[in-house]
Amino acid sequence: MYREQEMTVTVNGSAESRAGAFQKAMSQVKVEVTKQLPEMILQIVPQDVEVLSAKELTYKERFLGFLFPRTRTRCDIRMNVSVSLRYVKLSDIPYEEHKENLSPAQHALHLR
């Protein structure tokens, strides 16, 4: 029932700062793990991070094309994250099945 597994997922993040891009990418780890493993995940522990690409774009932005210039930054990061998982395999849990046979009157009274 209880299992442990190692997995590697690829995640992306974009933000206005390097720390923000890294944080957005790390917040995508749970989403990617859940897509690949549809079990009841108890714990996700990052083991290793490998940066595949990191880009920082700086550009000038102006209001109405020529007023109030300001410098903007956009950071993008793509990385592989190795994680250690602890999960419960739901198909291994033995459930007892009980069926009720209620008449329509009993069903209406119990509202089941």
To the nearest 10 degrees (0 to 180), the angle between helices 18-27 and 29-36 is 20
Q: Is pTM, for the whole model, over 0.85?
A: no
What does the block give as tokens for 74?
């956009």
Per-residue pLDDT tens listing for the chain (112 residues): 888 999 999 999 999 999 999 999 999 999 999 999 988 899 999 999 999 999 999 988 888 877 888 899 999 999 999 999 999 988 888 888 888 787 888 877 776 5
Question: Which positions ≥6 away from 105 have C-beta within 8 Å?
Answer: none
Q: Are 46 and 19 in contact (CB under 8 A)?
A: no
Question: Which positions ≥6 away from 73 have C-beta within 8 Å?
Answer: 16, 17, 56, 57, 58
